[in-house]
Chain A
């Protein structure tokens, strides 16, 4: 069943002097329940804009986004978002950050604690409950952000290059952590990235974005089973997909560079 339907969504930005920039051409895209889809594209192609529209933080110029048949009108707790920038509340501890959405919902203290303890353990941050975000490394902060989004039990998880600011080793470990969480507790995930390896390793399906104005150029299924081990990254099948995606992205990056 399709949980998310993106129907004819386009986005045009209007500048201060009335000039317009088309960021997204009309896009039609469907995501099934509990699917893990990555959106891969060169920087500035509009893939983040599409994610922000799904999140309700931006709105489409034309078309609409449906979540379980309901039109998305704005941001809400049913779509958890993890951003590339570190968006933990610096005045709250790690545990308080994870409880933020639960508190907004008016959940009892005991239930809040139970849920936050569960997700703190899940992302491996036990012992850091009372630390402030600035006392943690970037990877730990993003783990907290994932736990904060998941604690709210959203229908979908939207991730906008969440590991983009991390060093390579940390990034690889974070990919495995997120994939492990997805494998144990299925959730619909839309994951935006410009990293080809990341796009393939995480996804059941990779949607490749064109250069601006963005549209979905092609979709490539990734048929590795679950649970996935990091060693699949060196398998011939992985390499085949990677070679194909590299060509696709290269063409788009060059098109973007010419503009």
Chain B
């Protein structure tokens, strides 16, 4: 490291006029926990992407790696254009997005009420918790062969993979969020005349809502990884299916583009979710 930050490096400017004492300039960009400006943060974040593509381009365009194994950025862009113009890739993207959201919504409809019930009533928790905890560790992808036997290779099977991958995670995390409600708020509500119904509907649920929304955002991110696995096997559309096809044709450009598209969609849905949560639960970030 050549540019070590030196705190007292700037020599004070000597001026004739009795200068107003200036606040000492602080140059502590690399000090631990020191905040970084918005502009610098943006530049640094973009910087890594640029560096990444540069290194990738250097090795592929420079001929250090065989194009059979890794396409160059330029090839990838050409393939991307082809995908959209010739192979109707928009349809694949649409299918994948619909599967993720379909399975995710199904899982949410089941697991959020169940999680709230488990967090609220300890007997319900005692009944479901061991089983749900066990199921959480079952890999969703391992169910694919079984699901194909049960549900065929249609849409039901794809939705079920997402469902199985999400439902147990959401249930447990919601149960923990609701169960860790502030006891003093519950007591305050009782002294204000609330009954059990009032406690659940007007204390536990609103108090846990931001945590539940955050859980859903997290699990939606995981759902994106399940859908591709589901589409790799027994599928005729979707981004995962395109990737499998491209593998057979040794078209690494298309594979990489497919992966990047998943990343971008995931990022967009995550940002949208985050923005929605901030809007709905403004009080929790005050």
Chain A interface residues (CB < 8 Å from chain B): 55-57, 74-77, 79-81, 83, 85, 87, 89-92, 100-101, 103-105, 132, 134-135, 148-149, 152
Contact status B190-A74, CB under 8 Å: yes
Q: Which chain A positions have C-beta within 8 A of B209?
A: 91
Do A57 and B192 touch across chains, with their CB atoms under 8 A apart? no
* Contacting residue for B190 out of A57, A135, A149, CB 8 A: A57
- Chain A residues with CB below 8 A from B203, complex form: 89
Q: What is the chain B residue whose CB lies nearest that of A86?
A: B184
| Overall SS of chain A's interface | loop
A81 touches B283 (CB 8 A): no
B193 on the interface (CB 8 Å rule)?
A: yes
Report B277 CB to chain A, min CB distance, Å. Answer: 13
Q: Complex: how many Å from CA A148 to CA B283?
A: 19
Flag if B207 contacts A91 (CB, 8 Å). Answer: yes
- Tell me whether A87 and B193 are in contact in the complex, defined as CB-CB below 8 angstroms, given that A104-B198, A132-B283, A134-B286 are known contacts: no
A to B CB contacts below 8 Å, 30 in the list: A55-B191, A56-B191, A77-B191, A77-B192, A80-B192, A81-B188, A83-B184, A83-B187, A87-B184, A87-B188, A89-B188, A89-B207, A90-B207, A90-B284, A90-B286, A91-B206, A91-B207, A92-B206, A100-B202, A101-B192, A101-B193, A101-B194, A103-B202, A104-B192, A104-B194, A104-B195, A132-B282, A134-B286, A135-B286, A152-B192
**Complex contact A132–B188 (CB within 8 A):** no
Report the minimum CB–CB distance from A94 to chain B (whole Å). Answer: 12
The answer to whether A77 and B206 have CB atoms under 8 Å apart is no
Q: Which chain B residue shows the least CB distance to A58? A: B187
A105 in contact with B185 (CB, 8 Å)? no
Closest to B187 in A: A57
Complex interface bits, B267-286 against A, C-beta within 8 A gives 1, otherwise 0: 00000000000000111101
Interface contact A100-B192, CB-CB below 8 Å: yes
Q: Is B135 an interface residue (CB 8 A)?
A: no
Bin the interface of chain B by size: 20 to 34
Q: Mark B160-191, 1 if CB is under 8 A from A, else 0.
A: 00000000000000000000000011011111
Contact of B191 among A75, A85, A105, A134 (CB under 8 A): A75
> Which residues of B approach A to under 8 Å, CB–CB?
184-185, 187-195, 198, 202-203, 206-207, 209, 281-284, 286
Q: Contact at B198–A132, with CB atoms within 8 Å?
A: no
Q: In the complex, what's the smallest C-beta–C-beta distance from A137 to chain B, in angstroms?
A: 13
Q: Is the CB of A76 within 8 A of B284?
A: no
Evaluate whether A90 and B193 lie within 8 angstroms (CB atoms) in the complex, with A83-B184, A104-B198 already known: no
Q: Is the CB of B191 within 8 A of A81?
A: yes
The chain A residue with its CB closest to the CB of B285 is A134
Q: Are the C-beta atoms of B283 and A90 separated by less than 8 Å? A: yes
Q: Kindly name the residue among B188, B191, B195, B207 whose own CB sees the greatest number of chain A CB atoms within 10 A.
A: B191
In angstroms, how far is the closest chain A Cβ from the Cβ of B114? 23
A101 to B190, CA, bound (A): 9
Most buried by B among A81, A87, A148, A149: A87
Q: A90-B284, A134-B286 are in contact. Are A76 and B184 (CB under 8 A)?
A: no
A91 to B182 alpha-carbon distance, docked (Å): 13
User: A residues within 8 A CB of B207?
Assistant: 89-91
Q: A104-B198, A132-B283, A132-B286 are in contact. Are A89 and B185 (CB under 8 A)?
A: yes
Query: Within 8 Å CB of A152, what residues of B?
Result: 192-193
Min CB gap A104→B, angstroms: 5
In order of increasing CB-CB distance, the 3 nearest A-B pairs are A77-B193, A101-B192, A75-B190
